[in-house]
Amino acid sequence: MEQDNNNKIMPFIILAVLGLCLIIFMQLGCIEDNGIVVENGDTIQVNYTGKLMDGTVFDTSDPDIANESGIYNPMRPYQPLEFVVGSEMVIEGFDKGVLGMKEGQKKTLTIPPEQAYGPDDPTMIRLLPLVDNISTTQTLQKEITLPKDQFNSTFGPDYKEGDIVQLPESTINMTIVSMDENVNLSINANVGDTFKSEQSPWEEEVIETNSTHITVKHVVEVGDIIAFPGTPWNSTVTEVTDVNITIEHNPIPDETIQTPYGAMNIQFNETGIIMDTNPPLAGETLVFDIEIVSIVKPEPTEKSTNENETGNETEP
């Protein structure tokens, strides 16, 4: 009977000993649990490695992993990512995935496209033919109208009617016809005149003019290599007629460029150029291995401090 009682008591003794050891370890700092978890408004630092579903690493805060994955960039710092939780500084799935985590805790987040960079949008993909035809001539309005503030920001405020101004980044001269809330300008051009603009890959020659319009011809020859503004490739002129200029765009390796509308992915194929303004990771499910490095709670505002003090006074 005594042996049976000992068998029944033993598990409770073991649990008590384990509980005592746990308390001692926590007091000695071997196990730390300060109860602080990530909440919205916290400023946190996170070590991370981002991968595609096939395991391809596309970004990391660890230089060793970057080296191993062939994406190391000596021009960028490799350090924990710092952001304010809930401020939309990072993608939604990452922002929500850190909530409730503690310092030193590790976790793997699997984030669908809807909470990452969204699905691929076909309307954001444009196809440009590899061989293109452009009209040899172009007709321009002779007079243009600008709001006065736009005129002043472009040319400066110290002008009056009759003055001649030069269009920035070009050799085009214009006469100020009138000035009030709007400024009316007339392009100065006679048949035979030529001008150049940085917005055009070639020189223009005036071939016709009247009171309202100017017709120009693109001055170009077969074999010329031209570059259109904002494109990372150049193009070769293969044919010139009185009607059309035929150009062939010269392929380059796949590239991502920055435009005023965001990043654009450019790919050449056998028939054309694919220009995709979807984010590079659009449509991808992303996997992040993360570790919380630090959690900094926001400073209490004066209002919240007063509320706490009021609450403390009413507590028993």
- Cα–Cα distance measured from residue 85 to residue 68, given in angstroms and rounded to the nearest whole number: 30
Mean pLDDT for 141-157 is 93
Could you tell me the CATH number of the domain that includes residue 100?
3.10.50.40
Query: Do the domain assignments include residue 206?
Result: no
pLDDT band at residue 199, thresholds of 50, 70 and 90? Answer: confident
The answer to whether position 238 is within a domain reads no
The structure's pTM equals 0.60
Q: Is residue 310 part of a domain?
A: no
70 lies in some domain: yes
The confidence score (pLDDT) of residue 28 equals: 41
Longest dimension (CA), the chain: 122
Are 187 and 197 a contacting pair, CB within 8 Å?
no
pLDDT tens-digit readout, 93-108: 999 999 999 999 999 9
H helix or E strand, kind and range, residue 43: strand 43-52
**C-beta separation of 216 from 140 below 8 A:** yes
User: pLDDT (tens digit, 9 = 90+) per residue, 6-39?
Assistant: 555 554 444 444 444 444 444 444 445 567 999 9
Q: What percent of the chain has pLDDT over 70?
A: 84
Any domain includes 110? yes
Domains contained in the chain, number: 1
Q: Is residue 149 classed as helix, strand or coil in its secondary structure?
A: helix
What is the structure's pLDDT at 34? 63
Show the domain range for 50.
43-120+280-299
